[in-house]
Amino acid sequence: MVEELKQYLLGITPLDQEAMEMTRIRWSRVAKPLLSLGALEEDLIKIAGISQTSKVDIEKRALVIMCGDNGIVEEGVTQTGVEVTAVVTENMTHGNSSVCIMAERAGVDVFPVDIGVARELVSGERYPLIRKKLAYGTKNFAKEPAMTRQESIKAIETGISLVKILVDSGYRLIATGEMGIGNTTTSSAVTSMLLDMDPRLLTGRGAGLSDEGLLRKMKVISEAINLYGPSCKDGVDVLSKVGGFDLAGLTGVFLGGAIYRVPILLDGFISGAAALAAEKIYPGCCDFMLASHVSAEPAGKLVLDELKLSPLIQAGLCLGEGSGAVAAIPLLTMASDIYQKMSSFEDIKIEEYKPLGGA
């Protein structure tokens, strides 16, 4: 357990097994073939364990988008410059980004968070900006650590506190998103260090790097791992050395899900890297996470496998912003409707299905 976060982490308790068992029983009585909704059934069972009730409620849902810039962009690891982060973040506050349009259709409230964008932002009225700026972007980790340990802790605490605010406001499902040019580089570096794996196996093209750019990206990450790896003692150190404010903030959101007992829905590889950091900081907090989809980034499936999470969607998505997480929410909503509203075998007076194998 990370000492600086102990005051939060001591409040985490295991999933409610009784609520989960009651939910399994209800699923077995719904008038449909047993286990026929697959991962959707399992996710609702997990939600019951998180929320400590078999009366599953995910009607009020939020998307938290952590936005921040990354100094590593100076090394030519991206196709675009840092100015794009600010523009897209401002567009989000107007509801004018891919994920905002998806969220409107899916009935999800959007919360863009400036946790470290490289300039001051002007907020629109559709989704007002949450101002939590800790710095104007991180440092270039090719030259020095991206953040201090205390900055990383502060970013994690920011994510934790946002979850508390949302839970207190009645939100029962929180999706994760991010915006930050260069954050596939930070995510690849963080994942490589946390899993002790060769970054060449984990690093992809992000938003469209050339072959030359990809090789440069891999080289930058490898050199950073060699430089910082020996001195990293925990997940917070990894985030502070090669991560970003967005990743650290999302790590706090995942920890907050465990602390305040609300399911947190992963998006793709970037939020997956943050989820992995949260799991390293507090083993077992993956019990409070749900996977939306398998990212097209090379490490997308690997991270989910490490967290033992089953995705709902496999569609080659790699847009980011929380788009995959938002796309999965209607599936969870439909499953919840079936769980709550559909007749039981007893209601329609037919014999229940028996488990396979005759058990």
Residues labelled as active-site residues: 321
Q: Per DSSP, which regions of the chain are E strands?
A: 61-68, 109-116, 130-131, 173-179, 264-266, 289-291
Q: Taking the CA atoms of the chain, what radius of gyration do you get in angstroms?
A: 20
- Nearest-angstrom CA–CA distance, 249 and 254: 9
Task: Classify residue 212 by burial, with Cβ atoms within 10 Å: 0-12, 13-18, 19+.
Answer: exposed
Q: Count Cα neighbours of 118 within 13 Å in the Cβ-side half-sphere.
A: 23
Residues 6+ apart with CB under 8 A from 135: 116, 147, 151, 245
- 3-class secondary structure per residue, 269-307: HHHHHHHHHHHHHCCCHHHHEEECECCCCCCHHHHHHHH
Residues 6+ apart with CB under 8 A from 126: 93, 94, 95, 100
